[in-house]
A = this chain, B = another copy of it.
Amino acid sequence: MFTENIKQYPSLKHHYNDVLNLINEYDEIIILRHIRPDPDAIGAQLGLKAILQYIFPNKSIAALGEEESSLNYLGRMDPVTTVDDPLVIVVDTAGAGRVDGDIAAGSKVIKIDHHPNNDPYGDINIVETGVSSTSELIFILANLWGFDNDYINDTSARLLFSGIVGDTGRFLFDNTSSMTHRIASELKKFDFDATKDMGLMNRQSISQFRFKGYLIDNFEITDKGVLGVWVPSSVLDEYGLNSNEASLSVNLYREMDEAEIWFMAVEEEDNIRVRLRSKKTVINDVAEAFGGGGHPLASGISLSSSEKIRDLTEALDRKL
């Protein structure tokens, strides 16, 4: 199905056979991904594991890393065991410093990712920025190895679908291409409950739900449309949430007509973590000026004091 499209994916075109050859040489394979995993990291990691286990039932393949409990419904990590000289595959991780796990010196490493390839730390680097997600890229890779969906099964289909949903905001963001839907169509031919999984990905406890009430009652917005909300640690305590759980609600403001740029500033132990989002105005330059960074429309900053929030708001306002 994808053979005719392979020119779109130069690193895949050059290396998809090399990857398979290298995997063939090893009996022990470890698959890693980035710290603080999101659905695409877990979907790509466990999806690739399911694909490889399906093709190579006799190889020992382990997915390692710290678990994120809200994503355990997708599948669990393997226990860490010491293996001499495994092949290491790292998915969805732009920089070696963000890998969740140790890579022994001298190990062969395959990097598979969709972020800009500023740190090509793999012996083979399959990096394509034109796909929505690493899960989408892994589907295409498996599709090139076999004939159509030969190497996909219900388990890997479910995992890759969840990864695509995670990184596209359920087909909302403009990284969603015609190809993304084409792949979703192929994955949906397998037997899994996509509606249930998407519900699980978005599910919230009553505490998280009531916290949204706080966010609705306490934001400020400038005339031009820069919206900010301040979440002191006392509020986190009141709703029984940690900073990560609170941050899941940052996209609440996306649907408000008047909000062009918005951020949530959460007081953590020794700094203030700011999640910054924008509908269409590039904001990662402002994030960088404040010591943070990220994507053009979705960035993060750590501030040393709440007084800098006003400066940030003003800097963002000047962008509109």
Contact = CB atoms under 8 A, between A and B. Distances in A.
Interface of A: 170-174, 176-182, 184-186, 188-189, 193-195, 198-199, 202-206, 209-210, 212-213, 216-217, 221, 254-258, 279
B170 A258 contact: no
Given A172-B170, A188-B178, A279-B199, A212 B216 contact: yes
A232 B221 CA distance: 28
Contacts of A213: 213, 216-217
A202 B202 CA distance: 17
Contacts of A194: 174, 176
A175 to B, nearest CB: 9
Contacts of A193: 174
A207 to B, nearest CB: 10
Given A171-B170, A203-B257, A258-B206, A185 B189 contact: no
Given A195-B176, A198-B172, A279-B199, A257 B206 contact: yes
Contact of A171 (B171, B189, B279): B171
A161 to B, nearest CB: 10
B177 A188 contact: yes
